[in-house]
Amino acid sequence: MSKTLVVAAALLAVAVGAPAAAQEEVGAVAAVVGTAEALHPGATGWAALAAGAPVLLGDQLRTGAASKLKVLFRDDSVLTLAPNAQLTVNEQVVPTAGGASRFSLTVGTVRAVVSEQYGRAGARFEVETPTAVAGVRGTSFIAQYDASLEETTVVGLEDVTNVRSKVDATGRRAVDLKPGEVTRVRRGAYPLRPQLLPEDQLRSLTAATEAAGGAPASELPGPRARDRSAGATPGGVRGINPEGRAIDQPIEKLRQIEPEGGRRPPPPPPPPPPRR
């Protein structure tokens, strides 16, 4: 074989192998209500999703009208998209010192249930919108982006959720949401002062982000329980969504899904070898 053909064959092998190497599986669909689709990296069209379908790094996920999508990630975090929502998996890691998982919410509503692994020093879990960034270390919250108003709404559900504006890269004007509190961020503005979200609005957002496994909105505590939990601090008393209720746990139950083909969320990658 000539040198030219050898080089051409090598380049072809690299070209064929590159997309496959980029298809890093970071989670799996836990539940679909109605219709949901994914646009995989390098794909030219959207593909329908069903329970057990793999979720890849770089995927764009979207739900149709009257539809919901729940995804279990390899770090045991759970995201549930409400109807007419679209989200991109930008980065997804198993938390280590300095590790970060990032998602972009383009439109609609998502509930994030973040594993306690993100309590490790330096680990971050963030959901970005065009106007704001919501970050947590092992808690749960709801984020919503209204494109017509160019406004982000973030509701804290458990422990503390930190919210900053996209124009505030250092977070000097960020706010911390306690359970049941809400803030809003308009384009080019800083987060509004946190306030307690009215009960009917909280129930509406919670119901919109329930999909086969979440607690019914009727199970949320009443106003008195919310008042008591409003002062909760990280590591303290759980808030309005205690473990096993509206945060879509236990993880073991989600991992028992037996979809067509028998797919389950991928196991976490092995930890990096210690430095010498």
The CATH number that applies at residue 168 is: 2.60.120.1440
Q: Which residue has the higher pLDDT, 121 or 57?
A: 57
Residue 191: inside a domain: yes
Residue 216: inside a domain: yes
- Under the banding of pLDDT at 50, 70 and 90, the label for residue 142 is very high
Residue 4: inside a domain: no
> Average pLDDT over the chain, rounded to whole?
78
Residue 39: inside a domain: yes
CA torsion, ordered 46, 49, 54, 59, to nearest 10 deg: 30
Which residues span the domain enclosing 185?
29-254
What's the DSSP call for residue 84? Answer: T
d(C-alpha 240, C-alpha 139), whole Å: 11
Residue 21: inside a domain: no
pLDDT at 235: 32
d(C-alpha 219, C-alpha 210), whole Å: 12
The secondary element (H helix, E strand) that includes residue 253 is helix 251-254
Radius of gyration of the chain (CA): 20
- Which one, of 105, 67, 66, lies nearest residue 86 by Cα? 105
pLDDT at 270: 55
- Give the total number of structural domains in the chain: 1
- Under the banding of pLDDT at 50, 70 and 90, the label for residue 234 is very low
Residue 19: inside a domain: no
Please state the pTM of the whole predicted model: 0.74
